[in-house]
Structure 1
Amino acid sequence: MTAPEPTSETTTAPPTARPRALLARVPELTVLFWVLKILTTGMGETASDYLAHTIGPVLAVCLSGLALAAALAGQLAVRRYVPWVYWTAVAMVSVFGTVAADVAHVGLGVPYAVSTVAFAVALAVVLGLWHRTEGTLSVHSIDTTRRELFYWATVLTTFALGTAAGDLTAVSVGLGYLGSAVLFAVAFTVPAVAHLRFGLHPVVAFWAAYIITRPLGASVADWMGVSSVRGGLGLGTGAITLAWAAAIVVIVGGAVVSGRARAATVD
């Protein structure tokens, strides 16, 4: 899905405003953005499973929560989009959101159907408060700390919702991880088609696709990592976590180098 053109709700900046490149705190919505988003969701899923089984779910929640707090503090401190800072924060959101959703099911016994509905309601509340306060949900308008806080609250909620929804289809419904991956891959194309062919509002299309990437990436990573008894390839959650994390580092590193090269050329 390519970046939608700014709508009337995002074009109210005064003539003296600085270019978006200097104000933006989140990346442009390119193909690379969606690739990294799916990679971070999968990495977070398997990292969560690995940590929960290695050090226990309670300690995993505590440690991932601290890592998330540090990553978000760094993201809010830079006040602009810095690739490695931003994607580190997304990765930590992925790990913590997954652990939190899993603990709700495994530790508290909350059924996936219930947690999916609960997280969906929580997401609706966050989006409603964001829109009521700022008048827009467009990621093109995230140029203040308050809007960025709403953004990260939304991102965290979408990760928890996606985790519950992915487990619901794979385990409770019985599609398995590969079947769920196919389901969500098809679902991911729906907002893009609806936007490009039928005029779905770009902000609605973005957030719909964003939510779907969570169970999509998680289902693929789970399918690769879990044992054949559970319908997977049996490569191991630790190995998949490292492999997907390495891919993220390579892509983000390439983006940083490319950005510096473009800046040097302009200068």
Structure 2
Amino acid sequence: MTESRNGIEASKVPEITLAFWAIKIVATTLGEVGGNAVTLTLGLGYLVGTLIFASFLVVAVVAQIRAKRFYPSLYWAVITATTLAGTTLADLFDRSLGIGYLGGSLSLFALVLASLGIWYQSEGTVAVETVATPRVEGFYWLTIMFSQTLGTALGDWMADDTSLGYNGSALLIGAALAVTAALYFYTKVSRTALFWAAFILTRPLGATIANSLDKPAAQGGLAISDLTISAVLAAMMIACVLLIPQRPGHHPVAQGRTV
């Protein structure tokens, strides 16, 4: 049950601000290097890494859905879990199962669209401001999980299977995000569509930034240890969540709805 005042209902997700996007990029970068740290540096492999992070994700999502209101630390724990599980799951399908980066990206993009389509058919909207009930949260987190996994596959495809490399891919994705921001500020394009576009794009941005840090110098990276980068980014995440003020998004309560 969420708090309602004057016909306005508090959402279970944060208000979308510049701080939200800054923390999201840190989380996605952490997900990439953290996943690589477990699967590659520690040598546990993609399957074991996926099982570890998926277990963490299930516990975090259940706690988030059962929570009665928005808790920043819990919300960002779930986001981080989706980035970690998304990284290892994408690598498992793309590399271990041989689907390839492009095939994985196209398959996951179809799953994102399917999730959004079913959500819209069920609720009549996919706006994040309406994430205030367990059913809508279920759609929300399923879509996010698919988008995080898509971002890893897409970032790997751009960096490895095209001539862009890690830095070129990051610049291209950054330019696409700049266009998305311009559309938000200067046009009347659907804010919901722009949110999901930006949410999906920030995932490969984080992945390519991470790869530019941890990959060998011969591949265009800085060859910094995944464990070192993960520790630094984890500290940054904790600091951001604790120090940056956040509040839940709000939306009008549907007429006749019990909250």
Same fold (TM over 0.5): yes
Match of 2:232 in 1: 243
- Of 91, 96, 121, 1:107 maps to 96
Structure with more strand by fraction: 2
CA distance in 2, matches of 1:19, 1:236: 52
1:198 Cα deviation from its structure 2 partner: 2.6
| SS across alignment from 1:26 | strand
1:29 equivalent in structure 2: 16
Tell me how many residue pairs correspond in the alignment: 244
Deviation at 1:23, TM superposition (A): 2.7
Q: In structure 2, how many angstroms separate the alpha carbons of the residues matched to 1:147 and 1:139?
A: 9
Residue aligning to 1:201: 190
Say which structure is richer in helix: 1
- Aligned equivalents of 1:239 and 1:174: distance in 2? 28
Give a deviation string over 1:136-194, Cα, whole Å, max 9, x none: 11111111111111000110011011111101100011311111111111111112212
Give the superposition deviation at 1:102.
0.5
Work out which of the residue numbers 110, 132, 138 in structure 2 matches 1:143: 132
Q: 1:154 aligns with which of 135, 140, 143?
A: 143
Offset at residue 19 of structure 1 (A): 6.3
Q: What's 1:188 paired with?
A: 177
The answer for the alignment partner of 1:265 in structure 2 is none
CA contact (8 A) 1:22 1:80 kept: no
Instruction: Provide structure 2 residue ranges, at least 5 long, that are not aligned to the other structure.
Output: 249-259
Please report how far the alpha carbon of residue 225 of structure 1 lies from its aligned counterpart in structure 2 after TM superposition. Answer: 1.5
> Which amino acid counterpart does residue 251 of structure 1 have in structure 2?
C
Q: Distance between the aligned counterparts of 2:7 and 2:212, measured in 1? A: 39
Q: Which runs of 4+ in 1 moved over 3 A?
A: 16-22, 255-259
Letter in 2 for 1:66: S
The RMSD of aligned alpha carbons is 1.9
1:46-92: CA deviation from partner (whole Å, max 9, x where unpaired)? 11111111322221111111111111111112132101000000000
Deviation at 1:255, TM superposition (A): 3.4
Q: Which has the higher contact order (CA 8 A, sep 6+)?
A: 2
Residue 222 (structure 1) aligns with: 211
Deviation of the 1:22 alpha carbon: 6.3
> What secondary structure, in the 3-state scheme, does the structure 2 residue paired with 1:173 have?
coil
User: Unpaired runs of 5+ in structure 1?
Assistant: 1-15, 260-267
State the alpha-carbon separation in 2 of the partners of residues 90 and 229 from structure 1: 32
2:108 equivalent to 1:124:
no
Task: State the one-letter code of the partner of 1:140.
Answer: E
TM-score, with length taken from structure 1: 0.87
Report the counterpart of residue 29 of structure 2 in structure 1: 42
